[in-house]
Amino acid sequence: MQILARYIAGAYFRNLILSTSGLVVLLFFQSVITQVNDYTLAQKVIMNLYDLPGMWIMVAPPGVLMATILTLSALSKTHELVACYSIGIGMRQLMGVLFPIVFVFSCFSLVLQDRILPAVNEKKSLFYWKEIRKRQDFFLDVKQEKIWYRSNQYIYHLRNFDPEHGRIVGIGVYEFDDAFNLKEEMQAEEAIFRGGAWELKKGRKTTFNAKTGFPESESFASRELVIRETPKDFKMIEKEVDRLRIKDLLRFIRSNRQSGIDSKGLEVKLHSRFSLSFISIIMFLLAIPFAISRGREGRAGRDLSIAFAITFFYWLSNSISMSLGQNGVLPPAAAAWSPSVIFGFLALYLLRRMKV
């Protein structure tokens, strides 16, 4: 059994590597060729190279699906499955050989999302702003519970940002001169964008006298702040959430809740990191009935078409479910896990019909 297990596991692992690698290469070139923007070819290639870990995570479930179908179909076509059955080794034992590989593969996908992807997304963001947009002054950090945003001679310190209402809860604005000496500081409990300017509420302004060096402070109930940053600029914070690790994202969500800001979209993203990682297990289970029933026909094209059809319907249902979750129609956990649960029950039903 050990020799047979190594043989089957080796064949499966090779197919898994080939499937995921092939899908990543296809997705990479498709992205480079079809991107419509003002980037140079070199910039497109570099931006998509930064996307490679994210692409790998996306293609991991269909890669597992294809590897399972191709491996079991090949064993069935060459009658090696029949030979296994004849010596008392059934599909349960074969699944026991392949399942640990898929489980480790899923865990690696989760680790990749939590440890590697945030760092790569940060480098991609810096490349975009500094090399493509030529904004050498730009800086955005949402790693901690507070947000730091730098643009030109200003540094903004945001506790929370509500993109739906264009509102900032807890803001500090620091203005510097050309020598990067602090000229003025404003702190406010809230900032609302109205009529092309920010209205600061319940705050304090401190001006640093260049001659004496002494600060002069005054409190205010309401004050207008005219800067070039609008809610559209601060909405980039939502995209930068992809740079957060799971523990940091949890803190960020808790901070938003405490400030009364709707965090459903962030919660959906949090749950989707887990559901996306472990959908590979569902795809593995779902592929087995199709691989066994079709394997003897020896048609690889039909096997691959089945794999792509299943993948298409999963991503379609996942996109719809995620959209419903972000709009508040479904709870975040239900939005992220519903497609996996549905396809999981379908896989168990098909396996039960096979009497595995």
pLDDT tens over the chain, length 356 residues: 678 888 889 999 999 999 999 999 999 999 888 877 778 888 889 999 999 999 999 899 999 998 998 888 888 777 787 788 788 787 888 888 899 999 999 999 999 988 898 889 888 888 887 788 777 666 666 655 567 777 777 888 888 888 777 788 888 888 888 777 788 888 998 888 887 788 899 899 888 876 666 788 888 888 888 777 778 777 666 667 777 888 888 888 887 777 777 778 888 888 998 998 889 999 999 888 877 765 445 455 666 677 778 888 888 998 899 888 888 888 999 999 999 899 889 888 888 887 65
Would you state the pLDDT for residue 99? Answer: 92
Q: With respect to residue 137, please indicate whether it lies within any of the assigned structural domains.
A: no
Q: Which two tokens stand for residue 309?
A: 């059809």
Same domain? For 163 and 192 the reply is: yes
The helix/strand/coil state of 279 is helix
Burial class (CB in 10 A: 0-12, 13-18, 19+), 65: buried
Same domain? For 202 and 313 the reply is: no
Same domain? For 333 and 272 the reply is: yes
Q: What range defines the domain where residue 194 resides?
A: 153-227
Q: With respect to residue 37, please indicate whether it lies within any of the assigned structural domains.
A: yes
Q: Which two tokens stand for residue 115?
A: 């440890």
Question: Looking at the 3D structure of the chain, how many domains does it have?
Answer: 2
Q: With respect to residue 90, please indicate whether it lies within any of the assigned structural domains.
A: yes
Same domain? For 17 and 118 the reply is: yes
Would you state the pLDDT for residue 284? Answer: 92
Would you state the pLDDT for residue 353? Answer: 81
Query: Do 145 and 160 touch, CB atoms closer than 8 A?
Result: no
DSSP 8-class letter at 142: -
Would you state the pLDDT for residue 295? Answer: 47
Q: With respect to residue 53, please indicate whether it lies within any of the assigned structural domains.
A: yes
Secondary element (H or E) of residue 323? helix 300-326
Closest CA to 108 of 51, 53, 50: 53
Q: With respect to residue 318, please indicate whether it lies within any of the assigned structural domains.
A: yes
DSSP string over 36-99: -SS--HHHHHHHHHHTHHHHHHHHHHHHHHHHHHHHHHHHHHTTHHHHHHHTT--HHHHHHHHH
pTM for the complete prediction? Answer: 0.76
